[in-house]
Structure 1
Amino acid sequence: MIRFSLTRLRTLVIGGLMAAGLLSFPGIALASTVTPPDDPASRGARPPYSVLHMNVCLSGYAGCYPRTQYPKIVDEVVERIQANDVNAVTLNEACSGDVAEIAERTGYHYRFATVVYNGAPLACKSPGGRGEFGNAVLTKEAIRAAEDAPYSRFSGVEQRRWLCVTTARGVDVCTSHLSTDGEAAGSTNSTQCAELAQVLAARGRPTVFAGDVNRRSSCAPQGHWTLTDADATQAPGIQHAYGNLTAPALELEQTTYTDHDALVIRAGLPK
């Protein structure tokens, strides 16, 4: 005859109930043998290269500046970089000191292109001490090289420039902010648009551009796709992305502290 002690019997009964899922105790987690499917959807897979673009209106002179509630716009940029976990960021109407702070808070590398205004660099104001006005590219990967140059024409007193960086990953990321005199043939904006197309066509590497081009028709060179913020809630249609990466997709995010929506571009890298 097989004898069980009362304690032994209780142990067997409780163990059986727990194994059957009929009994549980607070603080005790039962191991699961279910393995989630190994597919891209379950892993939340995304294309391997992504760029965030924002026009941040930080000079302190423009009519949109009060909306930034400085420094809240800087916090918003940092939050969007971290939330989207992008490889690169392009910023228009930025200030060099604010860009340096954003880079420090996110751990990104950066290059800044100062815009000449009335023949000299423009110091950002309200508050001062934030450096000079211009455009920036920030990247998660190290920057191996950078180039920037003015266009041959500009309207008014603000010089317009393009900026491109080459990352350690072998991707070129570019930005620019074009003039606002319209896109009719012969306008300054159209001249800058044509020159920008030449710059992008000559890069010779996987390239992505994002910027406020102040026009609705594309400046992309032949062989590059075009994405625009035509569905934006603010100033739709004038911020563009161009590139020769594969399968591009655009996400628009409504911003709180600037007068343009944010663009998030995701695409594949050519093999």
Structure 2
Amino acid sequence: MDVGSFGFTLAGLVVGFIVGMTGVGGGSLMTPILLWFGINPATAVGTDLLYAAITKASGVWVHGKNKNIDWKITGWLTLGSVPAAALTLWFLASLDADTQAANAIIKQGLAVVLVLTALAILFKSKLQAFASKHAGDRYHLSGTSLNLLTVATGVVLGVMVSLTSIGAGALGTVALFLLYPYLVTRRLVGTEIAHAVPLTLVAGLGHASMGNMDWSLLGYLLLGSLPGIYMGSHLTGRISDSILRPCLAGMLLMIGYKLAF
């Protein structure tokens, strides 16, 4: 294994460890790391999308076995996200002749979504408290309005994830907290993961069809991340959430700022 391959495996190990310990940070850390290694933005996004689909698939099996997935909510989200992903990929494909323009759009999109993700991580507890406080009043929607808003949320996530590979985790979970305040946390997390798998798979295969994929890179990332997730999951709760989240949010804000400016 050469130095570059070792670096990608180490990156997978570190990101997998953080994901296993905190439950967030996969795409929001992996894609910027790949850019730092000099990987083309479009290739970084495409590779990270399939990386996410593979790593989260095992999560769906575990959460499904424990009945932590609300398949109805997953269906409404997917109804919005997958078509939105297809349209976003079509738009990127139309820019295929202008690689610089496509990469510039992806980098700016990354900057915006990284900042939003950082804010979602930083203020997650406050947003949860807000959702719980207003669960029984007019703020809480139901029926057709709630389903339509869930589809619209899926559309937004579909565009963001297809363009940047980021957003399905932290932003998707926060959106579900606000839309479904009565749903217990473990089912919200399981539902978000179940929705992320088809979204990242469709978006990842779409990028692969455009040539935005490095299969050997994907292999090295998985080689490191799978044991990293295993080790990190055993340290969940050992380090205070009040320390981990601000550190992760601060790091994402700095990366987003650097990409934007």
TM-score normalised to the size of structure 1?
Answer: 0.24
Q: By percentage of residues, which structure has more strand?
A: 1
Greater share of helix: 2
Report which structure shows greater RCO (CA 8 Å, sep ≥6). Answer: 2
**Which has the greater radius of gyration?**
1
